[in-house]
Structure 1
Amino acid sequence: MKRLIAPFALCAVTATQVAHSETAFPYTSLGVSVGETRFDEDFVILGDSYSSISVAGFQGTYQINGGPYVQGSVSAGSEDKSQSDIEVTTLSIGGGFPVQLHRRADLVFQAELLSTEFEACVDNVNGGQFCDDDDDSGLGYGVSARIWAVPGNLGQFEFNPFISDSTLDDSETTFGARARAWFTANHTASLNFSTSDDADTVSLSYIYFWQ
């Protein structure tokens, strides 16, 4: 079960970003995301086969005096089947340091404390459920780049590749990228993709940035 926890935790590591005139991008922000994680290999619980799980998350970030930032996030995934259901929850708190490489690019180093829980429940003959959970905690870390890809008068587009890992049991290195559209100086929407040896995640995010 611990191999299922890592993809959700790694999503949390790279889910949040923030803002100041000394960097190419703003960073103080609040955001939400929804998506799906698809496992590379199906797993079976009491005859129910799981190939994917729906996920949702909330995150917030605050930059301190144009330098490092602090951030926190919570994400949850669940899937119900005829005889069982699963839930995965990840909490994170940490921070990072953005470095301006160019007027259109930042390099961001980040680390977080992670707490995860995986719970699987099966129906019993008496109409109730039997549940088993697996908890883990550790350190998540990663590096990302934020690049103004297509600046223009009708809006701006950001490209954001990243790599992350953690000390969670059976954690796998995750690679990913997001494409973000800036509709105004504050309102953004992005399409996000990440992949590891265990799972692939696709999600949509809305983030409000303070300038």
Structure 2
Amino acid sequence: MLKKYVFTMKRNNQIISEDTFEIIRSKKNRNKIHVIEKTTSMSGGRKEMIYQTDKSDKEIIDHFNQKYSEYDKKMKETKSFFKQNALPKKFDYEFDLYFGKPIGEDIHFAGKKRNNARDSEEQLSDNHYTPIPKRSPFSKSLSSSIGFTMMLYILHFFNVEFVEKVYEPLLYGFVYFVGMFIGRLIGSWIFGIKQDKKTS
């Protein structure tokens, strides 16, 4: 283990919850870093992320020592329970910012526990992790548009005055967007076939 960081939340001098972050370098592949997050709160559980990096142990420890000092200071200074609770979650994002997008994950929070969960360095296995699927920005936009249109339809159903004024133009805009999406799919399919024929 390279380093372990602990965030402790207290109320009336009693520990309510603890969030721990363990940074471990993989024994099988020295370019892989495992970050294990555990929390004892009500939504408690365990999350393990894998990152690919060529950074040295010293670089990693120095960086996160500095970040931990900043977050720990905020934890001790703030009196708001909700702000304290949010700080460990923000610290979690620091790993993505530093290492980049994780290449694998193993998550079981709030009772949703996967099999073969491991807590010790010796038991870590790179083969267990689920690759993170990539979604195109276009598919994200489409799903967001569908959700937005469904919300509009529900409000339209209940005759909300503001929605009645903008319902039709927005609906036409959505139909246009879906048409573009289908056209793009057909176009990429046709040109993909033509490209395959040229290369064959």
TM-score range, shorter chain: under 0.3
Identify, as 1 or 2, the structure richer in helix: 2
In our comparison, the structure showing a higher alpha carbon Rg is: 2
Give the TM-score of the pair, scaled to structure 2.
0.26
Higher relative contact order (CA 8 A, sep 6+): 1
